[in-house]
Amino acid sequence: MHNNPYLVVLAFLCTLSQAPIAAHSADENKLEVFSWWTSGGEAAALDALFGVYKQQDPGVEIINAAVAGGGGFAARPLLQTRLAGGNPPDTWQSHPGWELLGQYVEPGYCEPITDLYKTNGWDTAFPKELVVNLMTKDRKIYAVLAGIHRGNVLWYNTKLLEKNGIKVGDRMTFDQFFAACDKLKATGIAALGVGDSQIWASAQLFENTLLGVVGPKGWTDLFDGTMQWDDPKVKEAIKLFGKMQDYINRDHSALSWDQAIKALMEGKVAFSSMGDWADGEFLKANLKEKEDFGWVSHPGTSGSFVIIGDGFALAKGAPHKEAALAWLKSVGSKEAQEAFNRLKGSIPARTDVDRSKFDAYHKWSMDSFAKDKPVASCVHGEAAPAAFQQALNDAVTAFLGDKNVDNFANALVEAARELPSAK
Ligand code: GAL
């Protein structure tokens, strides 16, 4: 019955209860927006979102409470502390799925925003599947998506590949990828750029590689318990991930994800497997699509779209509730979705935007979203509870040290015992 990971998420969360609330008072005419958008591209896109809001609500002073660190590695624990202490920002960035419903809605930190959907025609403007399966609990909706990132993208430095006689088609196999890596390695170039000073970036490389081996159906099977985490296919993916380590830049653990993208721009590395927030960095640096940088689905994952949605939620007891509601309304507007996503690398979550306003990468991603199989990201908090997300990060860290495939798989088997689908 639970073949769809979204339904598994939903079914479990429907059984959870709601907890009480913290009350608040504060100054008028302010709005505190919490996120982790601080890299060059991220900050520019957030600014565009602020710009649209300010046009609608000019008297309100925005407090930008962004906390640096890709993937929300530093922001999310801080947010938890604030929420648990009854000191919420008015609104905060959240991935849909487990992160939103399990970490924020279930403990009672969020106010539903269902009315905004009714009064703004959002019921039809946003993809129903996503809203119903990943952002709704007890028929109440808890977030509005600012945009949707594609996680399984392999970016490359066009000129560096050309110089080395490497051609990339519209899809790539693992064999083609490793053949390119060998060519580059022979000339002393680190083929694959990683910035895993925060381990999620390597976990994402593994997530993409795992999807490349098991496919979208296998992904669903893993998260609903039909396939085990020590399945030969998972081990094959771990081995491929291990093999990739031979081609990675030496300074990977000293770099952040965006520094690795910068290394790609500078021709120090050729490829980087990263969600399309990387596109935001290329745009910020004024690089030209295809001429300077190119992209293809991460090896083996053509036909799948790893969804990494960026939503905003409303705090229960928001200190500036009216401004927060106006912010959420603005985030969901066509104007904001067009302005923000053009800079962020993601595609608008609304399906009624003006496609002609977007560049080639965005159009490619929009087409992929329309026809490919959606897959929920585990690394970005959607597909599984936080404990499993953490266990995956820990298993990746351990593997980078001991390179032990069985240990990696067994750690995931252990962690999966705690998944709701296993109970
Ligand atoms: C993701 C988030 C993206 C991007 C990325 C890197 O979790 O959804 O918007 O910010 O982290 O920081």
Ligand 1 atom closest to 37 (CA): 10
Ligand 1 atom closest to 147 (CA): 9
Q: Whose CA is nearest to atom 7 of ligand 1?
A: 71
DSSP code per residue over 291-353:
TTEEEEESTT-TTEEEEEEEEEEEETT-TTHHHHHHHHHHHTSHHHHHHHHHHHSSBPSSSSS
∠95-123-112 over CA atoms, to 5°? 55
**Rounded to a whole number, what is the largest CA-CA distance in the chain?**
63
Task: Give the ranges where 85-173 is alpha helix by DSSP (H).
Answer: 98, 114-119, 122-125, 128-134, 158-163
CB 151 within 8 A of CB 382: no
Q: Whose CA is nearest to atom 1 of ligand 1?
A: 71
Ligand 1 atom closest to 381 (CA): 7
Question: From the CA of 270, how far away is ligand 1's center (Å)?
Answer: 22
Structure-token pair, residue 144 = 């509005």
Ligand 1 atom closest to 346 (CA): 9
Segment-wise mean pLDDT, segments of 10 residues, the chain, 423 residues: 43 39 58 98 98 94 97 97 98 98 98 98 96 97 98 99 98 98 98 98 98 98 97 98 98 98 98 98 98 98 98 98 98 98 98 96 98 98 97 98 98 94 80
Q: Give the pocket of ligand 1 (CB within 6 Å).
A: 36-37, 42, 70-72, 149, 275, 277, 308, 310, 380
pTM: 0.93
Rounded to whole angstroms, how far apart are CA atoms 15 and 77? Answer: 25
Q: What pLDDT is stored for residue 27 in this prediction?
A: 62
Question: From the CA of 277, how far away is ligand 1's center (Å)?
Answer: 7
To test the ligand 1 pocket, which listed residue (76, 277, 347) has its Cβ within 8 A of the most ligand atoms? 277
Q: Whose CA is nearest to atom 11 of ligand 1?
A: 71
Question: From the CA of 278, how far away is ligand 1's center (Å)?
Answer: 10
Ligand 1 atom closest to 275 (CA): 5
Q: What pLDDT is stored for residue 7 in this prediction?
A: 43
Q: H or E stretch including 375?
A: strand 373-376
Question: From the CA of 319, how far away is ligand 1's center (Å)?
Answer: 26
CB 203 within 8 A of CB 72: no
Question: From the CA of 38, how far away is ligand 1's center (Å)?
Answer: 10
The C-alpha R_g of the chain, in whole angstroms, comes to 21
In which residue are the tokens 């190119």 written? 294
Rounded to whole angstroms, how far apart are CA atoms 241 and 234? Answer: 10
What does residue 307 show for φ and ψ, rounded to 5 degrees?
-80, 125
Evaluated on CA atoms 374, 380, 386, 387, the torsion sign reads positive
Q: What is the pLDDT of residues 356-397, one digit of tens each?
A: 999 999 999 999 999 999 999 999 999 999 999 999 999 999
Structure-token pair, residue 87 = 């000191």
CB 342 within 8 A of CB 362: yes
To test the ligand 1 pocket, which listed residue (37, 134, 272) has its Cβ within 8 A of the most ligand atoms? 37
Question: From the CA of 176, how far away is ligand 1's center (Å)?
Answer: 28
Ligand 1 atom closest to 95 (CA): 8
Q: What pLDDT is stored for residue 420 in this prediction?
A: 85
Rounded to whole angstroms, how far apart are CA atoms 106 and 17? Answer: 7
